[in-house]
Structure formats: C-alpha cells, structure tokens
Amino acid sequence: MQERPTLRGVLVAAVGSRSADNARAFAGKWGIEHAHGSYDELVADPDADIVYVVTPHNFHAANATAALENGKHVLVEKAFTVNAAEARAVFQLGRSKGLLVMEAMWTRFLPHGPNSSTQNITDDSPSSGRTSPSVIAYRCSTRAFLAA
C-alpha cells in the first residue's frame, strides 16, 4: 500500500468509480478509507467535503450538480462542461448553495498539485494503462481549504 496522501489538513477521503472493484483497488493501493461503486454514493459520503470531478467531459455537469446538491464544494477538471449553458447552471447552483465551484485547471488550489505528496495519485491515468476512479473526494478543515 502506498502512503496515504495528505496536504496541509487535506486528506483524500473517498474515491468513486462506475466499478466498485476499481474503486476498492484504488482505495486499497492508496490507503483511502472509503471506496464507492457509484458517483451517487460518493457525493452522499458524509466524510467528503470537496469533490474533484474527472469523468469524461459530457458527464461533468451532471456529476458537479450531484455533488452540489449533496452540499459538497466542487472542482471540475477542464473542460468544465460541454457548453456555456451547462457551466452557467452549475455555477448558479453553487452560488445559490454558498459552495465553491471551480474549474480545476489551477493546480495551486488542488490538493495533489505539483509540489504535493499526493501528485503521484493522479499518475494512474487511463493513458498510463492503469485504471483509476473518475471522482475523488477530499476531507479538509475549513482553514486548510481556504488557505489553499
């Protein structure tokens, strides 16, 4: 098992995948406490504060909306959504719920940015031939989240 990824009070708390087996394997490899076989289970996880959406682009709006509806802050991988109307709807929902919504292209704000110990968790990309979950959830203190 790899060392459990952390960064200044931010902890990878859960992973979600369309496959429970893939989620469990990824969680086991990285020492992540919760593995979910669906994105709905992941966004309902009470230990998750922030959801990082890295599904295919055409699912970004639906996955971000589900996370926001469950009270989670959301970072969405680029491209944020497939069109401007979806993007406006996601941002409007986040604003109405008082939650952060952001395109995850600014690595300074990501818990696994280039200078963190969790960078290697994203090395399990489909292009590397390895399978990884498509949504990762983080648990953090408000202080750590705002300090990023």
3-state secondary structure at position 52: strand
97 is catalytic: no
Active-site residue among 29, 72, 78, 97?
Answer: 78
| C-beta neighbour count of 3 within 10 angstroms | 10
Question: SS3 sequence, 1-48?
Answer: CCCCCEECCEEEEEEECCCHHHHHHHHHHHCCCEEECCHHHHHHCCCC
Please count the other Cβ atoms lying within 10 Å of the Cβ belonging to residue 40.
Answer: 12
Q: Which residues are catalytically annotated?
A: 78
